[in-house]
Amino acid sequence: MNIREVKIIEVAPRDGFQIIEKFIETEKKLKIIDMLINSGIQKMQVTSFVNPKAVPQMKDAREVVKKSIEKHPDFEWTALVPNYKGAELAIESGIKELSYVISASEAHNMENVRRTVEESFKELKRIREDFKSTKIKLDIATTFGCPFEGDIDINKAIKMIHTGLDMEIDEIFLADTIGVANPKQIKEVIRAVKKEFEEIDFGLHLHDTEGMGLANVYAASQLGINKFESAAGGLGGCPFAPGAAGNVATEDLVNMFNKMGVETNISLAKLLETTDYIKENVKSNLSGHLSNVKRKV
């Protein structure tokens, strides 16, 4: 199945920054956000409303959201929330779309949000019922493997998708939280969920721990998946998943699709200006391939 256009959702300001120990000045975060929008990024997970004691990098979440929305009121913003309180804070700050994460692995879910999967779904149901006008995306973490439980039975994710759809969740992404998936597995999982849910337009959130991120994106695109979350420079990693490395790099994703003739609506040159700024001001050793190569684009 050949796709002609993809939607790339930028997650560097959330997933990318959360793993960086030294606090990034809010103004620098806002500068990076502006540069990403200027490159053509059309949707961004801008922060997460988590307990700052757990993820200190996100202590300025409300300020980042407020100033970002003030400058770009028509942009498509999302924020990650782990619980009802986070949802309240995000919505009060002006966010109209929430990303809510539940792991297919009980062990990882407990490590990540200190809840069982069942408890997380009860919280999600409460959020859905109380914030009916808010768009909610369910991210199913560790779909492709868990640092604590190893391989994950796809039927766990399928059961979770059913539960989410029964709650009228708006969108579902499958996540390779620790970056252990391979193209064969990607195809097997996508075929399984598409067979069960023929009308659902799934998206993917992939990490590049073992260097197969782009290959996994390509495999998914061949089965019609056209929504991918990625991070500029390949920033990222889950603080509660041992061994998790960065996301698939946005610039590498754009470069690959450009060469395949698939439209991204993103300027690679401006995106690389952004990664240059990130290298100088946030993290010098980015894992993205193209951001580390001097070349004409």
CB 139 within 8 A of CB 175: yes
Task: Identify whether the C-beta of residue 277 lies closer than 8 Å to the C-beta of residue 15.
Answer: no
SS3 annotation, 16-57: HCCCCCCCCCHHHHHHHHHHHHHHCCCEEEEEECCCCCCCHH
Which of 238, 241, 244, 290 is the catalytic position?
238
Taking the CB of residue 138, how many other CB atoms lie within 10 A of it?
Answer: 25
Q: Is 146 a catalytic residue?
A: no
Residue whose token pair is 């070349």? 295
Integer Cα distance of 284 and 297 in angstroms: 21
Cβ-based neighbour number of residue 128 at 10 Å: 20
- The residue behind tokens 């391939």 is 289
The tokens describing 123, both together, are 């919280």
The residue type at 210: E
Give the distance from CA 128 to its chain's centroid: 20
Q: For 148-215, where are the E strands, in sequence order?
A: 171-176, 203-206
Backbone angles phi, psi at 6, to 5 degrees: -125, 155
Q: What is the dihedral of CA 105, 109, 110, 115, to 10 degrees?
A: -120
Q: Which residues contact 193 (CB under 8 A, 6 or more apart)?
A: 154, 157, 158, 161, 174, 200, 202
Chain centroid offset of residue 11 CA: 5
- Active-site residue list: 238
